[in-house]
Amino acid sequence: MNLARHVAVLWRYRVITAACLLLGVLLAIFASYKVTTSGLVPRGMATYSSTSQVLVTQPGFPEGRVVLPTGPPAGAEAEDPEVDPNRLEFADPARFMALADLYTKLIVSDDVRSRIPGRPVKAQIMASPLPAVSGSPILPIIELTVMAPTSASATQLNLDAVKALRELLKERQRRNDIAPAQSVEISVMNAPNPGVLTSGPSKMGSILAFLLCLIGAVAITHLLENLRTRRAAEPLAGFDPWDGDALDEDDLAAKRSQDPRVAA
């Protein structure tokens, strides 16, 4: 059966075809949306992501120094100078890389997530150290990506995660009497971007509902067409065109002239 035949059958039973198509559209809408007093509300949940970059460093801008201060030369007479808690002492730059790697695990820990409003699950927060272009394998930079159901909540969750990590570090630094000049700092290099849609509610249910109704329209109209054709063929079921008794004299004469097999 060619396409033109399909179209002709659908058009002959266009009322049934239109009803099936209308039903398919309604079912497709209801499969993806809920009807509420405020209108149609999408079913399912969308996911938005927001990314920021955080630098692990210390006071005194060590990234801007050519050389770091050194201690007294070896062999010098040891003295017991007064310890100034505000005196800057610079760490080995490689230490910040190790700390950045450590903090990617700390930021998804229960200690940090318990300080974030809404208590996000671990799967909502992803952190990894930023790989270096050359030289060291990683940089002392944490790339933080969070997931949330709305764009605004994704951006806010990113801010809250960095704030919670910073608060946890400060709390433990105070508990261990670490002077501010000797404390690790968490500095935001790139602020969280507005949440970007990464996945929306699935429309597969709507597609399936519409396709089922379309297939149903084709099946019903062709079934009715077959029944109509069968009913039209029933009066001719016992008719034999070569039976002379079934023909009148004029038709029989015409048959004789056209086909010698017709008995005289």
User: In the chain, what are the domain boundaries?
Assistant: 3-41+202-236, 47-61+88-199
Rg of the chain over all Cα atoms, to the nearest angstrom: 40
Q: How confident is the prediction along the chain (264 residues), in pLDDT tens digits per residue?
A: 577 888 888 888 889 999 999 999 998 888 888 888 877 777 777 899 999 999 998 887 777 777 766 655 555 555 555 556 667 677 777 888 999 999 999 999 999 999 999 899 999 999 999 998 877 788 999 999 999 998 999 999 999 999 999 999 999 999 998 888 888 899 999 999 998 988 877 788 888 988 999 999 989 988 988 888 887 776 655 555 555 455 555 655 665 565 555 454
Where is 110: in which H helix or E strand? helix 110-113
Domain 47-61+88-199 belongs to what topology? Bacterial polysaccharide co-polymerase-like (3.30.1890)
* pLDDT value, residue 55: 93
Q: Which residues contact 99 (CB under 8 A, 6 or more apart)?
A: 56, 140, 184
Q: What CA–CA distances, in Å, run from 233 to 225, 228, 237, 248?
A: 12, 9, 6, 21
Instruction: For residues 114 and 100, give the distance between their C-alpha atoms in angstroms, rounded to a whole number.
Output: 21
Query: In 3D, which of 146, 173, 184 has the Cα closest to residue 58?
Result: 184
Please tell me the distance from the alpha carbon of residue 3 to that of residue 54, in angstroms, as a whole number. 62
DSSP labels for 199-215? E----HHHHHHHHHHHH
| Angular region, 75: left φ>0, alpha ψ -120 to 50, beta rest | left
CA–chain centroid gap for 79, Å, is 63
3-state class (DSSP) for residue 145 = strand
> What pLDDT shows up at residue 244?
47
The structure tokens listed for 78 are 């040891």
What pLDDT is attached to residue 169? 93
Instruction: Name the phi and psi angles at 34, rounded to 5.
Output: -105, 140
